[in-house]
């Protein structure tokens, strides 16, 4: 029986950001970088792959390690990290993995006969004279490759542009020949960086990083992370190397810009970098993106949301959810780590930039070490903070209970809107082991609702799970 779809879509102990999803032979494969739980920099682990059948996105299978960092000849000692990759199928039917190491500005390529087999190093992107892209005079730094193959040409999109750096002009498109390495058309800029955006239509959403490319209904969609970092934006063109016009924001990993359930400017989750892409699966379009956990930028987890591509080609921005578009059943036990909001009424993220990385603030985390298959939970939920879960199909809910631990003396509260009235209170007291509360009566109107669990009191509480009862 299919499980319900929940974010993050992979196990709570897995950290795969920068997701690039593809459908091959009836399965969805997701390629990304590989963060470490409690990591101290981005992308410390080797590339792994997960896949799921197209008709059940709850049934993800671990495909194992597909490429090790020391396989790159420039990284034989493994001292560099493997940054965000992308994959494309070459004219020979093989699978080509494009990536950049963290201290190199060149694009490396690995190859495999199957989508999730053992990739082997293939070469560096270069010109016909052997000059390596990124090292030649006048080249701009290569970063975050996104690739699309049509016939015997592969379009490679790269670039990293801080908003203050006028030496970086924007993301580049480079055309490669059938050997998947050799440049047949030199790089051209397809969107502006911030210093060059005046009058472009990209103002305020200029390119930062995370190049990705898809072709939809004959048009090319360039997906990227803007200078706001938390956003995944898109631009559209009729051609792969020119003419891209800014389209809008698809998702933001703090839910900024969304004004349907809170003020548009309010951040409802920790804002930081974002990377992902879109894919159609069984007639439904999705956006893959990532969220940040453990109170650092370096332990990121993949999430998915359903999106629409409208008849005019536009993509409306979607909310971050716990439920991937289909409301969760309003009964049974749910893990706290599926929270899509961690917030307080006053916007701590804007008033105290970077404060969310302070260990005193709430975060989604886990016990154990990297690789330990321990379930995640919300910790450090202090006075005035709340964890939000969207959405539930609430029918005849009569009661609830929670599982908590921590040195806390107060009440966990339940609201149906981020600033709404408290409809239930559950007392919590000091405990250093996971402890179930008593069952508390609650009156939730029938319908689709978010659930916001807050804390009022001394100390801070960790939330492991909550259970909804219908009888």
Asked if 414 and 442 touch (Cβ cutoff 8 Å), the reply is yes
Evaluate if residue 351 carries a pLDDT over 70.
no
8-32 average pLDDT score: 98
Radius of gyration of the chain (CA): 23
Specify the pLDDT at position 471: 85
271-299 average pLDDT score: 96
- List the beta bridge partners of residue 386: 343, 454
| C-alpha angle 8-225-172 in degrees, rounded to nearest 5 | 135
Report the catalytic residues: 18, 209
Quick one: tokens of 130?
């052997």
Structural domains in the chain plus CATH codes: 20-307 (2.115.10.20), 329-469 (2.60.120.260)
16-38 average pLDDT score: 98
249-277 average pLDDT score: 96
Surface-to-core class of residue 346, CB atoms within 10 Å of its CB (0-12 exposed, 13-18 middle, 19+ buried) = exposed
pTM: 0.97
- DSSP state letters, 297-361: SSSEEEEEEEE---TTS--------SSTTSPEESSEEEEGGG-SEEEESS-HHHHSTTGGGSTTS
pLDDT digits 0-9 by tens, 162-210: 999 999 999 999 999 999 999 999 999 999 999 999 999 999 999 999 9
Evaluate if residue 356 carries a pLDDT over 70.
no
Specify the pLDDT at position 234: 99
Specify the pLDDT at position 359: 66
Q: Rounded to whole angstroms, how far apart are CA atoms 339 and 342?
A: 7
CA dist 329 → 94, 391, 442, 453, 470 (Å)? 42, 9, 16, 17, 11
Q: How confident is the model at residue 60 (pLDDT cuts 50, 70, 90)?
A: very high
Q: Rounded to whole angstroms, how far apart are CA atoms 278 and 250?
A: 9
In the chain, % of residues over pLDDT 90: 95
Can you say whether the dihedral through the CA atoms of 360, 276, 339, 417 is positive or negative? positive
284-289 average pLDDT score: 98
What is the CB neighbour count within 10 angstroms for residue 227?
Answer: 20
314-328 average pLDDT score: 97
Q: How confident is the model at residue 289 (pLDDT cuts 50, 70, 90)?
A: very high
Evaluate if residue 369 carries a pLDDT over 90.
yes
Specify the pLDDT at position 349: 64
């Amino acid at each position: 029986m299919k499980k319900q779809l929940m974010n993050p879509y992979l196990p709570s102990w897995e950290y795969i950001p920068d997701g690039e999803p593809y459908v091959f032979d009836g399965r969805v494969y997701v390629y990304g970088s590989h963060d470490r739980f409690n990591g101290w920099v981005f992308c410390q682990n080797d590339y792994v792959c997960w896949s799921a059948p197209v008709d059940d996105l709850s049934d993800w299978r671990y495909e194992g390690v597909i490429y090790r960092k020391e396989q790159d000849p420039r990284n034989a000692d493994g001292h560099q990290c493997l940054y965000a990759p992308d994959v494309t199928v070459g004219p020979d039917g093989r699978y080509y993995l494009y990536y950049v190491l963290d201290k190199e500005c060149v694009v490396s390529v690995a190859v495999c006969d199957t989508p999730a087999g053992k990739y082997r190093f293939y070469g560096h992107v270069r010109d016909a004279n052997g000059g390596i892209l990124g090292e030649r005079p006048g080249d701009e730094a290569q970063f975050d490759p996104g690739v699309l193959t049509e016939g015997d040409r592969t379009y490679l999109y790269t670039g990293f542009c801080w908003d203050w750096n006028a030496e970086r002009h924007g993301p580049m498109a480079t055309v490669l020949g059938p050997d998947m390495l050799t440049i047949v058309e030199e790089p051209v800029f397809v969107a502006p960086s911030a210093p060059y955006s005046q009058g472009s239509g990209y103002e305020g959403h200029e390119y930062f990083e995370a190049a990705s490319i898809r072709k939809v209904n004959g048009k090319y969609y360039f997906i990227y992370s803007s200078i706001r970092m938390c956003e995944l934006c898109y631009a559209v063109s009729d051609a792969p190397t020119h003419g891209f016009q800014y389209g809008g924001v698809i998702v933001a990993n703090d839910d900024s810009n969304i004004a349907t359930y809170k003020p548009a400017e309010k951040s409802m989750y920790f804002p930081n970098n974002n990377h992902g892409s879109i894919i159609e699966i069984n007639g439904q379009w999705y956006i893959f993106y990532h969220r940040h956990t453990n109170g650092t930028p370096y332990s990121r987890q993949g999430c998915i949301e359903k999106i629409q591509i409208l008849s005019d080609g536009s993509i409306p921005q979607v909310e971050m959810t716990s439920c991937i578009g289909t409301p969760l059943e309003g009964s049974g036990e749910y893990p706290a780590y599926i929270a899509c909001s961690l917030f307080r009424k006053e916007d701590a993220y804007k008033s105290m930039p970077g404060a969310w990385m302070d260990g005193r603030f709430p975060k989604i985390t886990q016990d154990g070490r990297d690789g330990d298959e321990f379930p995640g939970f919300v910790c450090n939920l202090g006075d005035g903070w709340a964890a939000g879960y969207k959405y539930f199909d609430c029918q005849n809910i009569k009661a609830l209970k929670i599982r908590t631990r921590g040195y806390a003396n107060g009440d966990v509260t339940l609201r149906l809107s981020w600033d709404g009235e408290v409809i239930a209170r559950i007392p919590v007291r000091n405990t250093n082991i996971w402890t179930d509360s008593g069952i508390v009566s609650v009156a939730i109107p029938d319908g689709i609702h978010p659930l916001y669990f807050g804390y009022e009191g001394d100390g801070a509480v960790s939330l492991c799970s909550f259970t909804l009862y219908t009888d």
